[in-house]
Amino acid sequence: MKKILARMICVLLLVTLLAATVCTASAASVVSILRCTVDGGRVRQGPSSAYPVVTSLKPGERVFYMNQMSDAFCLVRTAHGQQGYIYRGFLSPYGVARSDQIYYANGNVTAYRSPSTSSKSAGKLSPGEHVIVYRIQGNWALIKNLYGGTGFVELSRLVKVA
């Protein structure tokens, strides 16, 4: 009876440790998407207003959250791949994506309504524009940009963000 109880405790402990490892691994691979709440939210080269401005964001513009650098600033990446620091009070939560879903356009890329170059165009991606890949279907990727536009892109025209 004691051996059975000891084995059950070991199995439960092993299952608990395995579940914690899986949860930690999946939590580490999630990237938050944030929305700018002000006009002219400045993305800077460093985590204070003393640093030069990389770009300015418009209200509703979305960015990938990369890291919290201080109480006031966080590191973000724009839809066009620019990286810098912005005052976190200018941002609000929008959504999440897995880090392995984030790609960027390798040059000017046409998105199509279906996975075929003979399909109607669904829009264009500019060089370096970041997208979220939801599904890979052969040589094609179903993508969504940070503004909600969707389409199919030839997978060879995308580069996975490291």
Q: Does domain 30-99 have CATH number 3.40.50.880?
A: no
In angstroms, rounded to a whole number, what is the distance separating the alpha carbons of residues 158 and 162? Answer: 12
In this prediction, residue 1 carries a pLDDT of: 53
* Fold match between domain 30-99 and domain 100-160: yes
* Res. 26: pLDDT tops 90: no
In angstroms, rounded to a whole number, what is the distance separating the alpha carbons of residues 3 and 73? Answer: 55
3-state SS, residue 124: strand
In CATH, what class is 100-160?
mainly beta
pTM of the entire predicted model = 0.74
In this prediction, residue 6 carries a pLDDT of: 41
In angstroms, rounded to a whole number, what is the distance separating the alpha carbons of residues 43 and 87? Answer: 8
Q: Within a 10 A sphere around the Cβ of 105, how many other Cβ atoms?
A: 23
pLDDT: which is higher, 106 or 14 = 106
Domain positions in the chain: 30-99, 100-160
Band (pLDDT 50/70/90 cuts) for residue 18 is very low
Model pLDDT for residues 60-89, shown as the tens digit of each residue? 999 999 887 778 999 999 999 999 999 999
Is the separation of the CB atoms in 43 and 86 below 8 Å?
Answer: yes
